[in-house]
Amino acid sequence: MSAIDKDTGELLKTVADFDPEKFLGAFNIRSNCMSIGRRSTENIKIETKEGEPGLDIRVAPGTKDEKVYIPACVTKAGVDDLVYNDFFIGEGADVTVIAGCGIHTETGEPARHSGIHRFFLEKGARVLYIEKHVGTGDQTAKKVIDPQTECFLAEDAYLEMDTSQLGGVSRSVRHTSAKLSDRAVLVIRERLLTDGDDTAETYFTVTLDGEDSGVNLMSRSVARGNSYQAYQSDIIGNGRCTGHSECDAILSENGRVDASPKLSANSNEAALIHEAAIGKIAGEQIMKLRTLGLTEEEAEAAIIEGFLK
């Protein structure tokens, strides 16, 4: 593995809780458009993709209780990083994928990372996907992270995605699409925090083709300062299936949020539900915490932290 500088090391700990000195499993570390370290295991093979930047990650059928780390870091201004990663999860495998991204710059120049991920889960495969995004350094510099994720779930497959963007990212456009076969299940938990003039857009499109397939989309977000967020979900039920979309947002200062959940039932056996709630922090919550000795700013921070957990 190449030497890891201080900024990259701090980003790795923040977005992926990754310590190269202690970790022995499968990983690929990407920094400023290059792989600076990689290790495969007997059951998880990481290979350079042919024809475009990125990786093919292949998990052998029946693999259990293993993790693969593929964090990406940008620590130089002016970098525009684009990567394509495909995950091939074998039948009956059960693994965790950690794929965070961090951008740190010390100048006013912009920096960007775009990660395009595709998941192919075979029959009965299970994946927990954890993704954290963060921007640090010069607050005036534009830090852009635009993730795209496509998911294809075979029969009885299960994919759980825990995604968060909790500060420092100037602009983000997040696209996630999925197609589910019989009895496949997709669960997505998204948490977003924007501040200043940040913008964040989320787009979910889930097609439930399989009988008894199901999806649960949950988004929690806080818009502070003059920031703006947009949430759009589209659940398409083509047979006997269940779908649920929930968007909860808190506004602070001049923050703005648009929520547009959409349902399309193409079968009378499709059971689809959507919920959306947008509002400010209740005054009685602030007052209660202030009686415990917190300032108004500390009380608001505590409420936001608990809401985004």
For residue range 281-309, list pLDDT tens digits in order: 777 777 877 777 888 888 878 888 888 88
Residue type, 192: L
3-state secondary structure of 300: helix
- Over 80: is that where the pLDDT of 38 sits? yes
Q: Which residue has the tokens 């996907």?
A: 129
* pLDDT grade for 245, boundaries at 50, 70 and 90: very high
- Over 90: is that where the pLDDT of 29 sits? yes
Q: Is the pTM of this model over 0.75?
A: yes
- Whole-number mean pLDDT of the chain? 92
* pLDDT grade for 154, boundaries at 50, 70 and 90: very high
* pLDDT grade for 279, boundaries at 50, 70 and 90: confident
Q: How many C-beta atoms lie closer than 10 Å to residue 63's C-beta?
A: 19
- Domain membership of residue 303 (yes or no) is no
- Domain membership of residue 301 (yes or no) is no
Q: How far from chain centre, in Å, is Cα 127? A: 14
3-state secondary structure of 115: strand
Which whole number is the average pLDDT over 270-275? 96
3-state secondary structure of 100: coil
Quick: pLDDT tens for 170-190: 999 999 999 999 999 999 999
- Domain membership of residue 250 (yes or no) is yes
pLDDT for the residue 2: 64
- Domain membership of residue 299 (yes or no) is no
Radius of gyration of the chain (CA): 20
- Domain membership of residue 132 (yes or no) is yes
Positive or negative: CA dihedral 205, 210, 211, 216: negative
> By the 8 A CB rule, do 240 and 265 touch?
no
- Over 80: is that where the pLDDT of 125 sits? yes
pLDDT for the residue 7: 84
User: Any idea what DSSP says for residue 281?
Assistant: P
pLDDT for the residue 77: 85
Judge residue 156's burial from the number of C-beta atoms within 10 Å of its C-beta, 0-12 exposed, 13-18 middle, 19 or more buried: buried
- Over 80: is that where the pLDDT of 105 sits? yes
39-61: burial string, b at 16+ Cβ within 10 Å, e else: bbbebbebeeeeeebbbebbbbe
- Domain membership of residue 230 (yes or no) is yes
Distances (CA, A) of 221 to 233, 242, 252, 294: 15, 24, 11, 23
Query: Distance between terminal CA atoms of the chain?
Result: 34
Which whole number is the average pLDDT over 60-74? 95
**In the chain, % of residues over pLDDT 70:** 99
Domain containing 51 equals 6-282
**In the chain, % of residues over pLDDT 90:** 73
- More reliable by pLDDT, 139 or 270: 270
pLDDT for the residue 174: 95
62: left (phi over 0), alpha (psi -120 to 50) or beta: left
- Over 90: is that where the pLDDT of 203 sits? yes
- Over 80: is that where the pLDDT of 24 sits? no
3-state secondary structure of 141: coil
Bridge partners (DSSP) listed for residue 118? 86, 150
Which whole number is the average pLDDT over 132-140? 89
- Over 90: is that where the pLDDT of 106 sits? no
Distances (CA, A) of 245 to 202, 216, 219, 233, 274: 13, 6, 8, 7, 5
pLDDT for the residue 295: 84
pLDDT for the residue 1: 59
- Domain total of the chain: 1
The residues near 206 (Cβ < 8 Å, ≥ 6 apart) are 177, 178, 179, 180, 186, 215, 217, 233, 234, 235, 236, 243
Distances (CA, A) of 36 to 47, 70, 72, 253: 14, 11, 10, 42
**Span of 137-141, 151-155, 211-215, 243-247 with lowest mean pLDDT:** 137-141
Residue 124, token pair as written in the block = 């009965």
**Residue 107: CA atoms inside 13 Å, Cβ hemisphere, count?**
8
- Domain membership of residue 196 (yes or no) is yes
- Domain membership of residue 184 (yes or no) is yes
Distances (CA, A) of 124 to 24, 89, 157, 301: 27, 10, 4, 41
